[in-house]
Chain A
Amino acid sequence: QKEVEQNSGPLSVPEGAIASLNCTYSDRGSQSFFWYRQYSGKSPELIMFIYSNGDKEDGRFTAQLNKASQYVSLLIRDSQPSDSATYLCAVNHGTGFQKLVFGTGTRLLVSP
Chain B
Amino acid sequence: EAQVTQNPRYLITVTGKKLTVTCSQNMNHEYMSWYRQDPGLGLRQIYYSMNVEVTDKGDVPEGYKVSRKEKRNFPLILESPSPNQTSLYFCASSRTGGVGQPQHFGDGTRLSIL
Identify the A interface with B (CB < 8 A): 31-32, 34, 41-46, 49, 51, 88, 90, 92, 94-100, 102-105
Contacts and interface: CB of A to CB of B under 8 A. Distances in A.
A88 B92 CA distance: 15
B41 to A, nearest CB: 7
Interface of B: 31, 33, 35, 40-45, 48, 50, 90, 94, 96-108
**Looking at chain A's contact residues, is the secondary structure mostly helix, strand, loop, or mixed?**
loop
A46 B4 CA distance: 14
A49 B105 contact: no
B40 A98 contact: no
Given A97-B99, A98-B48, A45 B105 contact: yes
B93 to A, nearest CB: 10
Given A88-B42, A102-B42, A46 B99 contact: no
